[in-house]
């Protein structure tokens, strides 16, 4: 059993990770700025929740000392692919500087770090449609640039100070606890709009492709990587295939039995045309099979929302 601190653990991915890892017997401590922890309510008796500001490093250090942390999973981020420069610049103290301080401290204390980066925004618009970890990064938005910068700093800390790490590059993750009102998350946002009888907005013609992954599959991959000690590497975690926005919307119609209007608008420059993640490296590291199909994942997400 490991003592695992999840930074940003009440959000979409964080809450699912906290639930999954605690089910596997890991000792989970969630650190979160917001006091709204409704995503953690169903299993809060199995975990410890601490509220605080990520920039309050004095408090963070106290948690490490008191809880004897072995592994940190870093999910805190206020930036998304559509975030404008001014917002990114204003949040740089949280996004980049504090993470640099964290990496330095973890290297010193010999605590392992799992950093959640991004799959799609890292690779940008290269000539491929299926990207591997060895492909040259080419971010075309501030979000991708920021995540890549943090990845490189973590790798540098590994080289000069021995920090043990994993850089996780997830694909387009969806499922339980994802916000239905927001600017990202095609599946959850669409399902939310169906319930509210709103039209669905799509940037461009709906032909861009993305790699969609059900959140429980992501949690399983992270757990197996940790348990099998697959450290000091960067891993793509995805389904390994691209699906167009139009195909996703068609599947949603079939699953829900609901028809809805689609409003196609001008495409955004910050969106890559096609993106799917090559998971060959992941398959060598762990047993990566029997993934949730897109149809089954949407069914589970729709049932969760309706319940």
The one-digit pLDDT tens for each residue of the chain (307 residues) are: 899 999 999 899 999 999 999 999 999 999 988 777 889 999 999 999 999 888 888 888 899 989 999 999 999 887 666 667 777 676 677 788 889 999 999 999 999 999 999 987 888 777 677 899 999 988 888 888 889 999 999 999 999 999 999 999 999 999 999 988 877 789 999 999 999 988 888 888 888 889 999 999 999 999 999 999 999 999 999 999 999 999 999 999 999 999 888 888 877 766 767 789 999 999 999 999 999 999 999 999 999 988 8
Determine the pLDDT at residue 205: 84
* Dist. CA 83–CA 193, nearest whole Å: 22
Residue for token pair 């590497």:
233
In terms of CATH architecture, what is 175-209+242-276+292-306? Alpha-Beta Complex (3.90)
d(CA 186, CA 194): 12
**Every domain of the chain and the residues it spans:** 3-173+213-240, 175-209+242-276+292-306
pLDDT value, residue 249: 95
pTM for the model stands at 0.93
E-only strand ranges, 94-249: 112-116, 130-131, 165-170, 172-174, 200-203, 209-210, 212-214, 233-237, 243-244
Q: Which residues contact 77 (CB under 8 A, 6 or more apart)?
A: 8, 95, 116
- Cβ distance 75 to 218 under 8 Å? no
Structure tokens that stand for 170 in this block: 């997830």
Q: Percentage of residues in the chain with pLDDT exceeding 70?
A: 95
CATH topology of domain 3-173+213-240: Rossmann fold (3.40.50)
């Amino acid at each position: 059993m490991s003592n695992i601190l999840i930074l940003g653990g009440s959000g979409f991915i964080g809450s699912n990770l906290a639930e999954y890892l605690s089910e596997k017997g890991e000792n989970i401590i969630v650190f979160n700025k917001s006091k709204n922890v409704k995503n953690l309510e169903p299993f809060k008796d199995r975990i410890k929740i601490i509220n605080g500001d990520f920039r309050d490093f004095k408090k963070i250090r106290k948690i490490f000392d008191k809880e004897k942390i072995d592994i940190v999973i870093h999910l805190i981020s206020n930036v998304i692919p559509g975030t404008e420069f001014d917002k990114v610049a204003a949040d740089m103290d949280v996004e980049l500087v504090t993470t640099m301080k964290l990496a330095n401290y973890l290297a010193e204390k010999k605590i392992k770090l799992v950093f959640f980066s991004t799959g799609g925004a890292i690779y940008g618009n290269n000539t491929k449609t299926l990207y591997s970890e060895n492909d040259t990064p080419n971010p075309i938005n501030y979000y991708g640039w920021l995540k890549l910068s943090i990845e490189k700093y973590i790798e540098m800390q590994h080289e000069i100070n021995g920090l043990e790490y994993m850089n996780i590059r997830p694909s387009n993750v969806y499922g339980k606890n994802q916000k239905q009102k927001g600017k990202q998350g095609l599946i959850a946002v669409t399902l939310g709009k169906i319930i509210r009888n709103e039209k669905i907005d799509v940037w461009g013609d709906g032909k861009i492709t993305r790699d969609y992954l059900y959140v429980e599959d992501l949690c399983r991959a992270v757990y197996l990587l940790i348990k099998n000690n697959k450290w000091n590497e960067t891993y793509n975690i995805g389904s390994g295939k691209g699906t167009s926005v139009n195909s996703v919307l068609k599947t949603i119609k079939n699953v829900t039995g609901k028809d809805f209007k689609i409003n196609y608008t001008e495409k955004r420059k910050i969106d890559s045309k096609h993106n799917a993640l090559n998971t060959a490296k992941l398959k060598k590291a762990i047993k990566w099979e029997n993934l949730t199909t897109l149809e089954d994942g949407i069914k589970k997400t729709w049932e969760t929302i309706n319940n």
